[in-house]
Every structure is written in structure tokens, then in C-alpha cells.
Amino acid sequence: MNKDYNKLEDWIFVDGKHESRQILWNFFESPDIEDYVPDDSGDYLIKLRQGDGDYAFLDVEKPWHSKMIDVMSRLKLELKSIEGGMPILLDDNVDNGEVVFTNDWKITTWMVIIHKDEEPDKERFQEILIWTRDGKNTLSQYGWKPYIEEGQ
């Protein structure tokens, strides 16, 4: 990987880096949340930005659903590490669970992890969202390249 991602600034959008216009893939378990999951053939703008403290948030533009744009702009993704010391960005109390989506679903956890891309020295980000309703959880995920491909 180009960076070790052990510092928050390694994740943050700077001068054309860490920005994407293409969702590589998506996944969701419940059809109730389908409208909030990005289409893997869509053209989406995603940037990780530095918050006012030691956290990041997602800066996005349409065609994201307006509720998702609202939640993403208020994320407090903090740098953490999981088993094996892998760095992640995590907000495990998304907007205090106050934004209610279709059929009473709420996003409670938002995580960003890094994967090695197929190309040498390139990474891709994967976002994992935990949704909760009536004590039950469901999952959605999507992956994106934190850089713009030439010609985009």
C-alpha cells in the first residue's frame, strides 16, 4: 500500500487524492434499505474530509439519497485498529441513532476499511454499515477507489 493509514491524515482527501467517482460494488441484506445503497453502476462523488476534531466525515454529492447525504456529513469516523492492528475508521454511534429511514431502520455503525486493489500500489476503501430496527441488525456495504482513474 502507498500509506500505512495509521494517521488520520493518510485517509483524508487532499489535492485530488482520495476522491472517487465510481462505486465498484455494493451489497445489502434487506430490501428495505435498497434505496439508500449506492448503485454499482452509478457515478458518485465521495471524499473523506477532516472534521473539527480527530475524526473524518464523508463529503458526498448527488445522486446519493438526501437522508444519506445528511448522515454522511455528520459522521464522526475515528481512527481505530482491529484485530491484527489493521487501521479502520469507525463511528459506532452514528448521529446518536436519530435519523430514521424507511420502515424504522437506523444506521448505528459506519466503518471504513482498506483493501489492496488489483493494481500494484493502489488501495480501495470499503464502507460497512450496520442498520438496526426493533433489536435486529442488517448490513449494507459498498466499495470505492479513493482516487480518480485517468480519463474520468
* pTM attached to this predicted model: 0.87
Q: Tell me, what's the pLDDT at 150? A: 58
Cell of 13: 482527501
Tell the residue number behind the cell numbers 480518480, with chain if given.
Answer: 148
Amino acid at site 85? G
CA distance 78 to 91: 6
CA-based nearest residue to 77, from 33, 129, 41: 129
The count of domains in the chain is 1
Q: Quickly state the pLDDT bin for 137 (edges 50, 70, 90).
A: very high
Give domain status of residue 151, yes or no.
Answer: no
Give domain status of residue 71, yes or no.
Answer: yes
Tell the residue number behind the cell numbers 454511534, with chain if given.
Answer: 93
Give domain status of residue 38, yes or no.
Answer: yes
Give domain status of residue 150, yes or no.
Answer: no
Give domain status of residue 139, yes or no.
Answer: yes
In this structure, the dihedral spanned by the alpha carbons of residues 19, 22, 26 and 30, taken in order and rounded to 10 degrees, is: 90
The model's pLDDT over 10-48, given as tens digits with 9 standing for 90+, comes to: 888 766 555 666 777 888 999 999 888 887 666 777 888
Identify which of 78-82, 95-99, 142-146 has the greatest average pLDDT. 78-82
Amino acid at site 59? D
> Domain range for residue 39?
8-144
CA-based nearest residue to 77, from 96, 58, 97: 58
50 burial type by CB count under 10 A (0-12 exposed, 13-18 middle, 19+ buried): middle
Give domain status of residue 128, yes or no.
Answer: yes
Give domain status of residue 57, yes or no.
Answer: yes
Give domain status of residue 133, yes or no.
Answer: yes
